[in-house]
Chain A
Amino acid sequence: MAKNPVSLRGKHILGLEDFSREEIELVLETAKEMKSVIHRDIKKVPTLRGKSIVTLFYEPSTRTRSSFETAGKYLGADVVNITAGTSSIVKGESLRDTLLTVEAMGFDAIVMRHKEEGAAAYATKVVGHPVIVNAGDGAHAHPSQGLLNLFTLLQHKGHLEGLKVAILGDILHSRVARSDIWGMRRMGIEVHLAGPGTMLPRFLSKEPGIFVHERVEDAIKDADAINVLRIQMERQKAGLFPSRREYARIYGINRDRLSLAKKDVLILHPGPMNKGLEISPEVAYGDHSAIQEQVQNGVAVRMALLTLVLMGGKAQ
């Protein structure tokens, strides 16, 4: 394969809308090499030795935070975790001041999760040296999740162009859906969205290659993959759907509905799952599921991202 001429060195990772096709390809190629590191007996490479990374999480997270932390540690970087509940954030420190404090400690990358859309973009205005890696900002973007979904698809299908992917559930509040949309469209994937009308943003279908359905069955017909989004319980209280029972029955993904998709359909879920609500256990743990594999791919993709933004190069 010809060497990819693009470089991500020093690039803030805010959302996949800022990524060219070549840049996404570079991440996916690098992630493939990184995945082999995870499979080694000794999982430590010196690529980022001497680099320091802080994870700054204003929202609870298990897999994303530990995934970035693991990725950094496998690469030999020093990783420090700051979470909102145990820091000056509870004393009312502004995001600007927390970022400046963290920058003053000399970190090379700030991996941040925040409940407000645009928090990571705002951070790039505040800090000078560190690279900002958005690990989720409100309903806006979750670029590393979008990339790991692409990586998982690529590993299974061998190509991305021309695939048909359904994304189901709470599109309105989902940063994963938005990062999927940008990333998948950039790679030539046809995106079909479905969910209750209360959870579908208006005006989305204006984009070419994006199709919005109100019936799940229409979205998953002949799909190569289905990304099932997590339904948050507070959405029911907000009146966006009447009951768990009804959601599971009309919008949940189960074995019957799965038969509408392609025979080799791949099931993705960003986790954590509500089994029996958006996804039935037999699908979550069934042959089509790549949900556990996504977690491992997440580490590989984040290793790739950290290497590319901090070093520009590849693993050793």
Chain B
Amino acid sequence: MKYLIQGGRVIDPANHIDKTADILIEGKKIVAIDENLSADDAKVIPAKGKVVVPGLIDMHVHFREPGQEAKEDFVSGTHAAAAGGFTTVATMPNTRPVVDDAALVRSLQKRAEDEGVVHVKIIGALTKGQEGKELAEVGDMAQAGAVAFSDDGHYVQNAKVLLNGFDYLRSFDKIIISHDEETALVEEGSMNECHRSAMLGLKGRPTVAEDIAVMRDIMLAEYAGARLHIAHISSARAVELVRQAKKRGVRVTAEATPHHLTMTDECVDLMDSATKVNPPLRGHADIKAVLAGLKDGTIDAIVTDHSPHAEEEKDKEYRLAPSGFPGLETSVGVLLTDLYHTGKIELPLLISKMTAEPARIFDLTDAGTLSVGCPADITILDTEQEWTVDASRFYTRGTHSPFAGRTLKGRAVLTMVEGRIVMQDGKIVG
């Protein structure tokens, strides 16, 4: 099959391209990218007035398989990804059982291949059972294809265990992704510690819990000379710690989520557990600092931390409800509406944080670019289309989006994976 994507604004940050151009796809690959291309036998995809970008990458999602398929599985998860414009995602290992050996990595890769409509990379657990006590077989998992290692959802409390992880993984050149919130300071906390938590009587998860965890992990990575990636950074001081570390040459990278870039703790409402997430929604100064960090390169990538839960699990008293919400289908809309249309960030920079940058961090050589010869993973965005978030129409099984009911401006209108259209106008096809 041949496709010609015609007349769109092509933004390919990996190749410093931002111009009106056509893209010719043959089979699974991009074969040409230039102005005024023609191919008589190609099916034309008109893209005038639209933005054509490398297929988006989200290196932090929870697909809940195996063990919690009522929340999500590889079918619903990859459909949600395609619907949101993502062509590559990486799943976190906090499943039941935890993904902590090579056999599980291989079986999930097979499941993704058989059932998934987008590329799925597997992140392995750093420690056995994510218990933070002894290293999982990370070498085995790395050789089986795991792209990174993380005890996401948990802070690795024992500093020696994390240091062992850094030292051991150095020779495999794989990164450790840290969920940085010092456990003792956040136990039982359900929202940012702030004026609103004080008035609601909800126990807080203070920013200092994140700050000291980020500081410790940076110091350990620096000491070991190893690679550290800070998951979902949310506090102003933590952003500054990463900034200073990068200046010193520490091999640290960081990611931020759409919600930590756009929502504050003032959104927390006891009636609706949708806003409950870890780390929690922070204050105004924090979201400003996270955005500044994103723009100056301190924060490398945007991820959704897509964390679906079943309706009946999330439909609870605020403190009892599980943390997290789905993000794949709202990410582009929220970012375009709140950051691009408000003039806070330029489109090419925003796109690079969702394509070239995550590909660089995770050493994905065949994703995040529109280079000729690369797999035709391509997303077309309509930055002007207005739509209203309706959680009942999500592909994900997750409900309770904090963005539900919002009218957003901009969305992905076509997702192509290896030359095959998997989503068009919001619908999964093929």
Contact = CB atoms under 8 A, between A and B. Distances in A.
Nearest to B319: A116
A114 B312 CA distance: 19
Contacts of B202: 117-118, 138-140
Contacts of A125: 271
Contacts of B318: 116-118, 122
Given A95-B316, A96-B315, A140-B201, A204 B270 contact: no
Given A122-B271, A140-B202, A175-B201, A114 B317 contact: yes
Contacts of A114: 317
A206 B203 CA distance: 18
A121 B201 contact: no
Contacts of A141: 201
A202 interface: yes
A93 to B, nearest CB: 13
B201 A117 contact: yes
Interface string A169-180: 000010100100
B166 to A, nearest CB: 32
B45 interface: no
Contacts of A121: 270-271
Contacts of A138: 201-202, 319
Given A121-B271, A122-B271, A202-B193, A178 B199 contact: yes
A122 B276 CA distance: 14
A124 B270 CA distance: 11
Contacts of B203: 139
Contact of A140 (B193, B194, B200, B312): B200
Residue with the highest number of chain B CB atoms closer than 10 Å, among A119, A173, A201: A201
Interface string B181-224: 00000000000011101111111101000000000000000000
B270 A202 contact: no
A308 B200 CA distance: 25
A203 B320 contact: no
Contacts of B315: 96
A118 B319 CA distance: 8
Contacts of A122: 270-271, 316-318
Contacts of B197: 201, 203
Contacts of A139: 201-203
Interface string B268-295: 0011000000000000000000000000
Contacts of B204: 202
Interface residues of B, number: 21
B207 to A, nearest CB: 11
Contacts of A119: 317
Nearest to A96: B315
A118 B203 CA distance: 12
A17 B200 CA distance: 10
B270 A118 contact: yes
Given A122-B270, A125-B271, A203 B194 contact: yes
Q: How large is the interface on A (under 10, 10 to 19, 20 to 34, 35 or more residues)?
A: 20 to 34
Contacts, number: 68
Nearest to B191: A117
Given A114-B317, A116-B317, A119-B317, A201 B198 contact: yes
A118 B193 contact: no
Nearest to A206: B195
A143 to B, nearest CB: 13
Residue with the highest number of chain A CB atoms closer than 10 Å, among B201, B271, B316, B319: B201
Given A125-B271, A138-B201, A140-B201, A204 B195 contact: yes
A295 B203 CA distance: 30
Contacts of A175: 201
Residue with the highest number of chain B CB atoms closer than 10 Å, among A95, A118, A121, A178: A118
A270 to B, nearest CB: 15
B271 A95 contact: no
A289 B193 CA distance: 35
Given A117-B201, A178-B201, A140 B270 contact: yes
Interface string B316-331: 1111100000000000
Given A122-B317, A203-B194, A117 B270 contact: yes
B205 to A, nearest CB: 13
Interface in A199-258: 201-204, 206-207
Contacts of B320: 116
Contact of B319 (A117, A173, A206, A207): A117
Contacts of B193: 202-203
Nearest to B198: A201
Residue with the highest number of chain B CB atoms closer than 10 Å, among A114, A119, A175: A119
Interface string B403-424: 0000000000000000000000
Interface string A113-156: 01011110110110000000000001111000000000000000
Nearest to A141: B201
Nearest to B202: A117
Interface string B294-324: 0000000000000000001001111110000
A205 to B, nearest CB: 9
A139 B206 CA distance: 18
Contact of B317 (A95, A201, A203): A95
A118 B199 contact: no
Interface string A87-102: 0000000111000000
Interface in B149-170: none
A117 B271 contact: no
Nearest to A177: B201
A185 to B, nearest CB: 11
A141 B199 CA distance: 9
B198 A202 contact: yes
Contacts of A96: 315
B195 A117 contact: no
Nearest to B195: A203
A169 to B, nearest CB: 15
A243 to B, nearest CB: 22
A178 B195 CA distance: 12
Contact of B271 (A116, A118, A206, A207): A118
A122 B272 CA distance: 8
B313 to A, nearest CB: 10
Given A116-B317, A139-B202, 14 more contacts: A17-B199, A114-B317, A116-B320, A118-B318, A121-B270, A122-B270, A124-B271, A140-B270, A141-B201, A201-B198, A202-B198, A203-B195, A203-B197, A204-B199
10 contacts: A116-B319, A117-B270, A119-B317, A122-B318, A141-B201, A181-B199, A201-B198, A202-B198, A203-B195, A207-B199
List of 6 A-B pairs having minimum Cβ-Cβ separation, nearest first: A118-B270, A139-B201, A201-B198, A116-B317, A140-B201, A203-B195
Interface of A: 17, 94-96, 114, 116-119, 121-122, 124-125, 138-141, 173, 175, 178, 181, 201-204, 206-207
